[in-house]
Amino acid sequence: MADRTAIIIAEPASIPYFPGCTLKSHAPHFERSALASAGAVGLELVEMPRWVCCGTVYSMATDDLMHQVAPVRNLARVQAAGSERVVTLCSMCYGTLKQAAALIEREPAKLETINAFLTRDAGEPALEGRVRVMHLLELLAEEPRARALQEAVVRPLTGLRVAPYYGCTLVRPAEASLAGAGENPGLLEEVLAALGAEVVPNPYATECCGSYHTATNPEIVARRAHAIIEGARAQGAEVLAVSCPLCDFNLDRRQAEVRRLYPHFRPMPILYFTELIALALGLEAPAAEGRLVDPRPLLARLALVGAAA
């Protein structure tokens, strides 16, 4: 442990962290496991003192500049707090903030309009220049943390066949994609491999989960979830690693509808990638709380956790 700490202290890093709404309501285990895991590799995620809604689908679905105020306001606050970077966990937050950052860089006139609103009407700081929006995956894949992560593993996920699942907002559009790598970033694969898991290729990694159709037409989502889970299973996967609370909801909680549509369907656990990191680093084991499919029997079978309660 002492050696590892030495590496970590070589580059202490603290970075403002934008949580977003879901992590504070439905997905506390995502946030908890992420903060703990980041801390273990020398990365201090400091929650922004004041943050507002990222803008969610509104900022991405319409051309109305008003909907860009929320993400830009958040970026301006990051800058006002003295940072040029901000990190997110939720894929949706990442997508909205990063696309807003790309938009105002591409169209400075729009930034001027939003700044005018922020300073004159809202009495807030303007956004000058750029703020780099990052996802935790990008930080974990960078040195020295990538090595620190590998070295911090105390319980390798040996034998766990996990399929990475990116969903959409981490990889599309290309200008807002993880590490600018488009639809094939490979970061989840790297991180999961560093944990000792057996990463299976997942052709469905960037297929749509059905997104907000879950609110009005759950059957569409259930059919998507079925295709995605069975596609991953055909490659040998036993568990899907996700980074988006909405994907998590659609792939996990909607498995009840999947079973109604496909009687022979066998459930598959869905986990946030940070839960797998926390498990491998010996920080905490994934819990059953808030989930439909209990991951513990699978993990217990591989002796990664004690027998399920």
Partner 1 sequence: MKRVGVFVCHCGKNIARTVDVERVAKELGAHPGVAFSQTYVYMCSEPGQALIREKIAEQKLEAVVIAACSPTLHAMTFGRAVEKAGLNRYLMDMANIREHCSWVHADDSAKATAKAAALVKSAVSKLQQGRPLTPIRVPLTRRAVVIGGGIAGIQAALDIANGGHEVYLIEKSPTIGGHMAQLSETFPTLDCSSCILTPKMVEVKQHPNIHLLTYSEVKEVSGAIGNFHVTIERKPRYVLENLCTGCGDCVPVCPVVVHNEFEAGMGSRKAVYIPFPQAVPSVYTLDMDACYNTDKLVVCENCYKACGPKAINYLMEPEIIEIEAGAIVLATGYDLMPIAKIDEYGADAYEDVIDSLQFERMLSASGPTGGVVRRPSDGKIPKEVVFIQCSGSRDPAHGVPYCSRVCCMYTAKHALLYRHSVPGSQAYVFYIDIRSDGKGYEEFVQRAIEDEKILYLRGKVSKVFREGDKLIVWGADTLSGQQVEVAADLVVLAMAIVPNEATKALARKLKVTTDEWGFLSEAHPKLRPVETMTAGVYLAGAAQAPRDIPDTVAQASGTASKVLSLFANEELLHDPQVASVNSELCRGCGYCLAVCAYSAISLEERLVRGHRMQVATVNAALCNGCGTCAATCLSGAIDHLGFTDKQILAQIEQLGEGA
What percentage of the chain's residues is helix, strand, coil (to nearest 5)? 50, 10, 40
Q: How far is the CB of 63 from partner 1 (least distance, A)?
A: 23
Report phi then psi at 241, rounded to 5.
-100, 125
Q: How far is the CB of 205 from partner 1 (least distance, A)?
A: 10
Cβ nearer to partner 1, comparing 51 with 165: 165
For 37, the token pair is: 């895991």
For 83, the token pair is: 């940072």
Q: What distance in Å separates the CA atoms of residue 264 and residue 250, rounded to the nearest whole number?
A: 19
Q: How far is the CB of 44 from partner 1 (least distance, A)?
A: 35
Cβ nearer to partner 1, comparing 39 with 231: 231
Q: What DSSP string runs through 77-121? A: HHHHTT-SEEEE-SHHHHHHHHHHHHHHHH-HHHHHHHHHIIIII
Binding residue for partner 1, selected from 159, 180, 201, 306, defined by CB under 8 A:
201
Binding residue for partner 1, selected from 61, 116, 234, 307, defined by CB under 8 A:
234
Q: How far is the CB of 201 from partner 1 (least distance, A)?
A: 7
Q: What distance in Å separates the CA atoms of residue 43 and residue 298, rounded to the nearest whole number?
A: 30
Stretch 156-195: interaction string toward partner 1, x if CB under 8 A: --------------------------xxx-----------
Q: How far is the CB of 133 from partner 1 (least distance, A)?
A: 23
CA distances 48 to 17, 88, 106, Å, are: 6, 11, 26
Residue 177 CB burial class (10 angstroms; 0-12, 13-18, ≥19): buried
What is the sign of the dihedral through the CA atoms of 254, 58, 24 and 228?
positive
Q: How far is the CB of 239 from partner 1 (least distance, A)?
A: 19
Binding residue for partner 1, selected from 235, 262, 266, 307, defined by CB under 8 A:
235
Q: How far is the CB of 234 from partner 1 (least distance, A)?
A: 5
# residues contacting partner 1 (CB under 8 A): 8
Binding residue for partner 1, selected from 203, 282, 297, 306, defined by CB under 8 A:
203
Cβ nearer to partner 1, comparing 183 with 190: 183
Which residues are CB-contacts of 168 (< 8 A; sequence separation ≥ 6)? 91, 95, 206, 208, 209, 211
Q: Give the binding range for partner 1 (CB under 8 A) out of 131-139, 162-170, 231-239, 276-284.
A: 231-239
Stretch 106-145: interaction string toward partner 1, x if CB under 8 A: ----------------------------------------
Q: What distance in Å separates the CA atoms of residue 193 and residue 140, rounded to the nearest whole number?
A: 12
Kindly state whether residue 219 participates in binding partner 1, applying the rule CB under 8 A. no
Residues that bind partner 1 (CB under 8 A): 182-184, 201, 203, 231, 234-235
